[in-house]
Structure 1
Amino acid sequence: MPDRTFSALFAPWSQHARALRLRLPQSHAALQDALLIQQVTGRETLCGATDVEVLCLSPREDLPLKEFMAVPAEIQLVTDQGLLRTLCGFIAEVHAGQINGELSSYRLLLRDALSLMGQRINTRVFLHASEADVTQILISEWRQRSPLLASSMEVEWSLLGERYPAREFIMQHNESDADFLRRLWKRRGIGWCIRPCEPPLPGQAACPRHVLVLFDDPMQLPRNAAGSVPWQRDHAPGRQDGILRWQATRRLRAASVSRHTWDHVQDGPLQRHMNNPAAQGVLGDHFAQLLDDYLVEAPHIADDGEDLDQIARARMQRLALESKEFGADSTVRALRVGEWIDITGHPELERHPPHEREFIVTRLEFHAENNLPASLDERLRRATPHRESGLGGLASLQRRCREQGLRYLNHFACVRRGIPLVPAFDPRVDLPRPRLQNAHVVGPAGEELYCDALGRIKLRFHGTRMQDHQHGGGASDSERDSAWVRVASHWAGRQWGAINLPRVGDEVLVDFLGGDPDKPVVIGRLYNGLSLPPAFSGVGSLPGNRFLAGVRSKEIRGQRYNQLRLDDTPRQISAQLASQHGQSELNLGWLTHPRTEGRSDARGEGAELRTDQALALRGGQGVLISASRRSQASGAQLDRAEMLGLLRVLQNVQQELAALAETHHAGPTAVQSLSDLRTRLDAWEAGSNTQAEGGGGGEPVVAVTAPAGVAISSDEGVVLGAQKEIDLVSVGNTQLSAGKKLLVRVAESISVFAQRLGMRLVAASGKLQLQTHTDDIEATSARRIILTAVDEIVLQAPRLKLLAQGAQIDLGGGAITQQSSADHIIRSANFHHASGADSAPPGVELPASGMRTDERFILARRGSGRPHVRQRYRIELDDGSVIEGVTDEQGRTALSQDQAMRIARLRIVKE
């Protein structure tokens, strides 16, 4: 239909004369002028959304539907007081239809801006921000990115009175912005509602605006423009809008709320229990006592007990809110959710004090029809069948409105003013339930492994975008991208367990405790195309080396490694614990060179402990080195039966030879040392798990035994020493061979004894010298002493005496005296006497010496090496003498001087 026809048809009852009016921005005035509202149906919910369906008439059937999308719109409803009650939102849907040949219909669906944010799905993180902070960030971003939203939506913060603590980590995970914000508000007990901006801001009158109101104190919500609303049994034209039907509703709810959350920092639970103050009748209260709204929240859901109080209190207040509600049908056009009215004239309510007749509207459903001319209205009714609203559950309201001959009817729910208005929150329903996902470990520049004292790490969640994190970290690939995140371990205790923290750049598998996206935890790590499975010993790869398992680490800021390798190759199993520092390895089993593609050359069988650097074996209760076979690991740890048997034989040999030596005047033999050592070895296991009874076990001795022999060699020297005695005992020969010299040095005496076959002392070349510097030389034989020389035998001394049975010759002092008790026979071919001559033996100068020892001890602490200063001590020597004193500033004892080496026992004297 041409525009002039439209003007002629609609001019008499333009929008200014109608009860329902449509206002669009000036930029869309043409659309506004082409539409006339026939009816409006809508729903407003506290802590919910605003949805309004507007059925419009137009003489044009060619209006471009896409031009309606996201257009701010305002529906004006004239109240009984002649004021305008407005509804604002964005056009989210438009449906075109034809009524007859003259008019077309357009059904518009208006939704608030928050609801439209429900179509933007995102994943992002917020650090060290409260729920209010996150709300402000998100809304500010929307307003910055959309001038349309900035000019059409406001947020009212003034009704938020609580202080909300900052959260370490909040994550929006595959959620719409609307669902995400609602989840945050619900958990913290923050209420919200939508209301229009009235009056519009200066210069913005052409653009309909609405306000997102956030509140946590219902007493701060405003009074509705209707003020006092009368209760009416029926509605008559011209009368004040009022309430037509009133009813109260009671619901049985749990009498208590309990919340439990685990605080991993304190390693203990946080728990709160609160009672629902709502009275529910005698039987209701009794039954409600059996109902406890107990919920195990995600760990660390609250910062402290006060914070958990707030969460539990919000749930308790919600139960109280649900337990009692009022519902009403009314013709009050000024009603809005989030505003309060007082009701007058109701027989039952009049019995209550005034403050109990004040009610806040929590839900509003309404249907309104425009005051079109009767002729047009009748034509439309005949031309169109009854059309129900597209908003679910409102069809009955439309029917009742028409059946009662009303142009406006609503149904609303309300509670008494002062009742806390908190949204319903159930983490089992309202959380998005994220599934397992992967992430990468991040840290500061230059850090290869970054963690805190609890072994927690930082993550960059995949899919977080830079443009969504201009407010802070989250997509920077740095430690600013998350809070500290715990890492699961297969073994974790109080400073014991297993630890192997993921490193910067590692891909990890993340789960969420309690299904809460704000509570991520690392449960594993993943290999990928860049981070390949480890190549043990730096060679080989999968699948060739698939029989190898274990752990291989990497040096921080280096390339070396440590590894535990388990080789399960058939018939060639082995294990290796290795560090590349010093090429230090413990190899067990079938020893091989590193495998490549599953193949390797053999290196031996058994066990190998090797290093390019120092190696120490230390046992505080002894060390046993044995080559005696114990097949299949039979026998005990210190099984040494062969050694003990041999020691008994050796001890018998020593004792027998000692007795013979003493009999033959070779002197006594100290046999106690070997006996004591054997006693220690016999009792070595006493007190252990293999020999629980008995004492004296666990002595720190080293025992070496081998059935086929023990070889000790060195390119340099071999030192064999003892504080007390060294016993060399063999059943067979004991042989000493030296390529150069055999030097024997003793401080007291040497005693050599041979029982049967005698002794030989032979110098193949060089002299054989026998000296004593302070005493005699005695040579005794049971038979003869034979001195034989190829050249001569020279006996020289200042005096010389030859003594035999019945005869004696004395030489010295210039004289020779001979005597015999029988014949003195001299046989000679010639006998010459000459004048006297003198003879003198060469002078003999023998050295004199004495042994002097001067020793002191230094007392120091094991590990640190710090000296024990001014510490009392007692030194007991083997000759019975005792030295007592106090250490000096360097931990030194007094100097001990003697003419012989002594065995000393040092004891620290406790104060």
Structure 2
Amino acid sequence: MNSLFTAAIKYTQDNRSMRVETGLGKDVFLLRRVQATEFFSKLFTINIDLLSYEANIRPEDIVGNHMALFLGLDGNPRPLNGFVKSFVYSGLEKQGLYGYKAELVPWLWFLDKRTNCRIFQNQTVQKIIETIFTELGFYDFKFTLIDNHLPLEYCVQYQESDFNFISRLLEQEGLFYFFEHQADKHILTIGDNAAAFVFLDEKVIEHSSGSRSKFYLNQWQHRFQYCSGAFAQTDYNFENANLSLLTETPTSIKLANNSALERFEFPGNYNESQRGQNLTRIRMQQEESGYQIVQAGGNLNYLEVGKKFKLLSDEALVDDKKTFVISEISHQAFEGSYLDEDEDGKASSYQNRFLCFPEEVVYRPPLNTTKPRIDGVQTAVVVGPAGDEIYTDKYGRIKLQFHWDRYGEKNETSSCWVRVATLWAGNKWGTLNIPRVGQEVVVTFVNGDPDQPLVIGSVYNSTHMPPVALPAGKNYAGMKSKTVKGDVGGSNEFSLEDTGDSQQVKLHAKKDYNTTVGNDLNSSTTGNATYNVDGNNSSTVKGNASLSVQGNESASVQGNQDSSVQGNRSFSTSGNKTENTSGNAESTIGANESRNVASNQDLSIGSNQSVNVGSNQTNTIGANQQTTVSGNQTFSITGNQEISALAQNVSISTSATTSALSIAMNGQSQIALAVGGTSITIDPSGITLSMGASSVKIDATGVSVMGPLVKLN
């Protein structure tokens, strides 16, 4: 074809071995070369060389837009399509044509352009992926799942792209994916079983050493690779702390010495045995997926990743009539009819290289995607339901709102339950201080895993300031709480003041203060001790009580004072004893009372005194007794009265009257009555009445009357 002809007639893609379609219109681009690779569980890449009569194609009309390719001249060409990741102008070629290069990627590639931090709770991997896809407006996907993929209680996407996040979730669950290309789109298939693999339209592929048809396989190499003999892993669930979560799955592939080669990992990222068994089985299958793979090649342009075929071969007899699944394929296509002098004079061509595996292999994608780590600490805010100041569960766990979480609603749904580290944590003993809603806490992550936050402390901020003004109160140390749903500003407090010469330990209870001591309680104060009780004060001592005061003791009772002693009561006073009672005094003794006064006793009664003795009364006086009565004195005796004395002197200032039915007086030697100069004397010898010089004496011999004058009738 000469240059004059080509200058007048422009090339088209009609009847070419391949073509490209874009939104710019038909034949704006001519497809010259295709190098494309499709994978299992990886993004496909399509690199193409283009020719165009347009020298100034705007990149914004191409980059990010859809582009479709078709390989083959028959009525059913092989479609490949994607979105333009990059676009390059390579300069003027020949015959008025300009060269361009483009790289096409699947729509899933766009997810690598969005990074995020967010939390998913109680959702399956499928649900999480569907959420992300639909958020971005992608709907060309389907799931083919049969395994029981349990919801993930807490799953964090942290500082990573949506693509990285989805990729590691798929790998963790053992889910593979591939793309099915159609004329105007490519559909993402996500699966966990062989039902996702359907036959090619041409179910049988021949591999023969004899004559070849137009389309053929020219390479078939079945490779086997050594693998470990078992996979084991374990984890820990604090809610069932004594349960072993160790699981192990041996390989089904028996090779020399591989039975002793076990791969062990920790943590397995599961909290119950069944989940662990499923994940361990998947990990072993991931190892086994690389055991056997077939490398093949030819010019069959209809091969697709994720499709299966049956092999007929007279060369690879071991694989004859077996079914294989295509897991990777690389296409190389070239259209050599556009320019007079194309490279090496090549005509149009198509070749591919592909990988496949026997259909009985349970394919699992390898764990290639790295999970982000949080190696340092972060802070977060404690959250809970509206109106709750403390929101916790039986383990003392709390809910958090992380500063990076744009989706959290700052309530009890913002996170999973998060454990709180404490100084001690024993069985029904330890320390407990549950962070409250609104507090800022310090969070670390177990093994650096964003899915396993752990609260290790609290920090102050502009809305939650320290309990004292700083730096003025810098010598303060201690702990101060806040009343929950009660008195505003109420608190309990234990604090230390370490300022020199003002050191102080302060204990403040907003309401009740209870102390229980299992054995001894010793308190020592080198200075003064003051106790103020606004209400009642009650002390119960089941044993003995002892009070030793080296100085004075003073007790002031403004109301009544009651003292009850069930046993004996003894008072010992080394000095004087003084009792002052402003009102009445009453003493009741249920049994005997004995008083011993070593020296004198003075009893002064300002008014009346009444003594009531229910039975006998005995007064014993070691020395003299003197009774002084300023008024009258009356003795009322319902029985007999006896007075026994060595001597008795009775002195009455005015008169004395004795009245009785009978009066008996007994003197062992003498009874004498005297009034002035008149007397009556009674003794064993007789009775003598004397008055001045006159006397009358009566004795056993008779009556004698003496006087200056005796009158007898």
What's the TM-score once normalised by structure 2's chain length?
0.83
Q: How do 1:340-489 and structure 2 match up within 5 A?
A: 340-347=308-315, 349-352=316-319, 354=321, 357-373=322-338, 376=339, 378-379=341-342, 407-425=349-367, 430-435=370-375, 436-465=377-406, 474-489=407-422
- Paired residue for 1:762? 603
Partner SS state of residue 341, structure 2: helix
- Distance across 2 between alignment mates of 1:462 and 1:276: 45
Which digits, 9 at most, give the CA deviation of each residue in 1:408-463, with x for residues without a partner?
A: 2222222111211111126xx62122353333222222222222222222222323
Shifted more, 67-76 versus 168-177: the winner is: 168-177
Q: CA deviation at 1:523?
A: 2.9
Q: CA deviation at 1:133?
A: 0.9
- Distance across 2 between alignment mates of 1:499 and 1:353: 70
Q: CA deviation at 1:124?
A: 1.9
Which digits, 9 at most, give the CA deviation of each residue in 1:114-143, with x for residues without a partner?
A: 112111111222222100111111222222
Asked if the contact 2:171/2:365 (under 8 Å) is kept, the reply is yes
Q: How many residues align?
A: 655
Asked if the contact 1:196/1:209 (under 8 Å) is kept, the reply is yes
- Distance across 1 between alignment mates of 2:637 and 2:275: 111
Instruction: Describe the shift of the 1:380–1:732 C-alpha distance in structure 2 as closer, same or farther (beyond 3 A).
Output: same
Partner SS state of residue 704, structure 1: coil
Asked if the contact 1:18/1:371 (under 8 Å) is kept, the reply is no
Matched, 1:292 2:140: no
- Paired residue for 1:50? 44
Q: CA deviation at 1:800?
A: 7.0
Asked if the contact 1:123/1:463 (under 8 Å) is kept, the reply is yes
- Paired residue for 1:22? 20
Q: 1:262 aligns with which of 236, 240, 256?
A: 236
- Distance across 2 between alignment mates of 1:821 and 1:606: 73
- Give 2:229's aligned amino acid: A
- Distance across 2 between alignment mates of 1:791 and 1:582: 60
Matched, 1:130 2:93: no
- Give 2:544's aligned amino acid: V
- Distance across 2 between alignment mates of 1:719 and 1:549: 44
Identical-residue share of aligned pairs (%): 21
Instruction: Describe the shift of the 1:735–1:125 C-alpha distance in structure 2 as closer, same or farther (beyond 3 A).
Output: same
- Distance across 1 between alignment mates of 2:470 and 2:579: 58
Instruction: Describe the shift of the 1:814–1:353 C-alpha distance in structure 2 as closer, same or farther (beyond 3 A).
Output: same
Matched, 1:311 2:279: yes
Q: 1:215 aligns with which of 191, 200, 203?
A: 191
- Paired residue for 2:474? 546
- Distance across 2 between alignment mates of 1:607 and 1:788: 49
Q: CA deviation at 1:322?
A: 1.4
Q: CA deviation at 1:819?
A: 5.6
- Paired residue for 2:226? 252
Partner SS state of residue 182, structure 1: helix
Q: CA deviation at 1:54?
A: 0.7
Which digits, 9 at most, give the CA deviation of each residue in 1:309-355, with x for residues without a partner?
A: 221111110101112222223222222211122332253x324563x
- Give 2:172's aligned amino acid: R
Asked if the contact 2:65/2:83 (under 8 Å) is kept, the reply is yes
Q: 1:323 aligns with which of 280, 288, 291?
A: 291
Partner SS state of residue 295, structure 2: strand
- Output the aligned Cα RMSD: 3.6
- Paired residue for 1:86? 79
- Distance across 2 between alignment mates of 1:506 and 1:188: 37
Asked if the contact 1:259/1:271 (under 8 Å) is kept, the reply is yes
Asked if the contact 2:177/2:191 (under 8 Å) is kept, the reply is yes
- Give 2:228's aligned amino acid: A
- Paired residue for 1:507? 440
Partner SS state of residue 10, structure 2: helix
- Paired residue for 1:61? 55
- Distance across 2 between alignment mates of 1:556 and 1:108: 66
Which digits, 9 at most, give the CA deviation of each residue in 1:218-265, with x for residues without a partner?
A: 2440122443223356997xx333332332333332211112121122
Instruction: Describe the shift of the 1:533–1:242 C-alpha distance in structure 2 as closer, same or farther (beyond 3 A).
Output: farther
- Distance across 2 between alignment mates of 1:748 and 1:419: 104
Asked if the contact 2:82/2:185 (under 8 Å) is kept, the reply is yes
- Paired residue for 2:703? none
Matched, 1:580 2:510: yes
Shifted more, 48-57 versus 484-493: the winner is: 484-493
- Paired residue for 1:628? none
Q: CA deviation at 1:479?
A: 1.9
- Paired residue for 1:850? none
Which digits, 9 at most, give the CA deviation of each residue in 1:263-305, with x for residues without a partner?
A: 122224422110011132x2xxx1x23322211126xx33532
Asked if the contact 2:444/2:454 (under 8 Å) is kept, the reply is yes
- Paired residue for 2:175? 190
- Paired residue for 2:588? 745
List runs of 5+ in structure 2 lacking aligned partners: 516-525, 651-657, 681-688, 690-713
Instruction: Describe the shift of the 1:276–1:715 C-alpha distance in structure 2 as closer, same or farther (beyond 3 A).
Output: same
Higher relative contact order (CA 8 A, sep 6+): 2
- Give 1:548's aligned amino acid: Y
What's the TM-score once normalised by structure 1's chain length?
0.66
- Distance across 1 between alignment mates of 2:647 and 2:418: 111
Q: CA deviation at 1:830?
A: 5.8
Which digits, 9 at most, give the CA deviation of each residue in 1:49-103, with x for residues without a partner?
A: 1110011011222111121022111111117x65311111111110111144632
Matched, 1:37 2:31: yes
Instruction: Describe the shift of the 1:346–1:726 C-alpha distance in structure 2 as closer, same or farther (beyond 3 A).
Output: farther
- Give 2:385's aligned amino acid: P
Asked if the contact 2:209/2:314 (under 8 Å) is kept, the reply is no
Matched, 1:828 2:676: yes
- Distance across 1 between alignment mates of 2:81 and 2:244: 47
- Give 1:273's aligned amino acid: E
Asked if the contact 1:487/1:522 (under 8 Å) is kept, the reply is yes
- Paired residue for 1:495? 428
- Paired residue for 2:653? none
Asked if the contact 1:129/1:166 (under 8 Å) is kept, the reply is yes
